[in-house]
Amino acid sequence: MDFAHYMGCALLGFSPALAIFFLLGPKHRAWIPHLAWWLSLILGVVICFYGLSHSTIPSFSTRVTAVGKFDDYVEREGYRGDTTYAFRFVPEGAEAINLHTRILIPHRGMDGRTYRVVYLKDDNRRLKNEAVDITILSGEDTGFHDSLDARPFGRWLAIPVGVAFFGFGMIGLRYRKDANPAASDDVYNSST
């Protein structure tokens, strides 16, 4: 998932978290223990990274499944460390297709392997003809399988949910820290 789509997903999750946080009000937030804010923050990070590592930009594009061989495998380092892999896929009994993916394929001994690839047939995406599911059927590393979820209501939804939990925990800790010094000053003043 590229940076712009990630930021859109993050805003989609952070906005409701911020609204809920301020709707709770200071009295209700004071009842929430310090550990709960930390757990919310950690849970948000885990959920968000899960969504980032298992999904790509959602799409209604046609999914095409083909079996064939790879040619010209190239690794491309993109902006912000966004690595993509490009290759020419030669399906059995058809002409070659240029595919792109974020899936890291074991590249030792690529000659002679047969692959089953599911790709999104869409030239308007940032990664044209993006491979979202790759399986090695024969040759070295037979049985390797990796995939990214590109369904419209798929794993990418973990990103806004994770950011919501993270934002809720982060803001809760921030406001909790601001409230603690004032409380300790009141205790100090009442004991003197």
Q: pLDDT per residue over 40-90, tens digit each?
A: 999 999 999 988 888 887 778 888 899 998 887 787 776 666 778 888 888
- The pLDDT score that the predictor gives to residue 2 is 66
Query: Is 124 in the same domain as 68?
Result: yes
- The pLDDT score that the predictor gives to residue 71 is 80
Parent domain of 69: 62-147
Domain end call among 147, 165, 180: 147
What type of residue sits at position 29?
Answer: R
Asked if the model's pLDDT at residue 23 lies above 60, the reply is yes
CATH assignment at residue 126:
2.40.50.140
Query: Is 139 in the same domain as 178?
Result: no
Query: Is 160 in the same domain as 117?
Result: no
Query: Is 140 in the same domain as 165?
Result: no
Query: Is 79 in the same domain as 108?
Result: yes
Edge-first strand listing for the sheet containing 114-121:
97-101, 83-91, 62-77, 114-121, 131-138, 145-147
Number of domains composing the chain? 2
| Per-residue pLDDT tens digits for 33-49 | 889 989 999 999 999 99
Please tell me whether residue 115 adopts helix, strand or coil conformation: strand
Query: Is 38 in the same domain as 115?
Result: no
Average pLDDT, the chain: 82
Query: Is 81 in the same domain as 28?
Result: no
Task: Using alpha carbons, select from 156, 152, 97, 88 the residue that is nearest to residue 121.
Answer: 97
Task: Using alpha carbons, select from 137, 125, 127, 73 the residue that is nearest to residue 102.
Answer: 127
Query: Is 74 in the same domain as 120?
Result: yes
Query: Is 94 in the same domain as 141?
Result: yes
Query: Is 68 in the same domain as 46?
Result: no
Quote the percentage of the chain above a pLDDT of 70: 86
Asked if the model's pLDDT at residue 126 lies above 60, the reply is yes
Predicted model pTM: 0.69
Query: Is 101 in the same domain as 73?
Result: yes
- As to burial, measured by CB atoms within 10 angstroms (0-12 exposed, 13-18 middle, 19+ buried), residue 92 is exposed
Query: Is 71 in the same domain as 132?
Result: yes
By mean pLDDT, which of 94-98, 110-114, 116-120 is the weakest? 110-114
- What is the C-alpha separation between 164 and 157, in angstroms, rounded? 11
Work out the pLDDT band at 185, boundaries 50, 70, 90: very low
